[in-house]
Amino acid sequence: MEHAANAPAWALALMESGLGLAIRHSLWIYPAANVLHVIGVALLVGPIIALDLRFLGFARTLPIKAVSRFLTPVAITGVCLLVPAGLTLFIADAGPLAGNRILQIKLSLVALGLVNAVAFRLLWTRRISRWDTQAPALGRAQVVASIAIWLSVPTLGRLLAYL
């Protein structure tokens, strides 16, 4: 990624710091962070989409509580991989990335997706067992929004390399 002419000074300083240089010049750090980021995306987005589809009525033979109990820790593991890997990737190219509109939208969607997930848990956890027969309209809207958000996040992440 080229230096952005209008990059904030803090981002350029971060990128040119010893850590930024080490990440960019290491044979393994940047590629490892990239791989961990991809694995984290798979572990986060895959389970979220699977759980959301279950909330929309797919695979009704699988109890929602059991599906949620199984997939939620997998998604949390994905977040635990994504955060440090994403920060590592950002530090390597902080100058141009700091002002990148696609990254800003991606990170805003991540925040929105996390807020939606927490709100969903707070609003609907006690009613999950009745979801198949009495799914609330707001809950279903949250699920549809979740699918749209979490499919958009990795899409925008890939577009960072091209736009």
More confident residue, 7 or 40: 40
For the chain, domain boundaries: 9-159
Which residue pairs, CB below 8 angstroms and at least 24 apart, start in 27-33?
29/88, 30/88, 30/89, 30/92, 33/84, 33/85, 33/88, 33/89, 33/92
Confirm if 30 and 23 have CB atoms less than 8 A apart. Answer: yes
pLDDT tens across 81-137, in order? Answer: 999 999 999 999 999 999 999 999 999 999 999 999 999 999 998 888 888 888 899
Q: What is the pTM of this model?
A: 0.90
Beta strands in the chain (DSSP E): none
Which CA distances in Å does 136 have to 127, 132, 139?
A: 9, 10, 5
Q: Which pLDDT score is estimated for 134?
A: 87
Q: Which two tokens stand for residue 115?
A: 């807020």
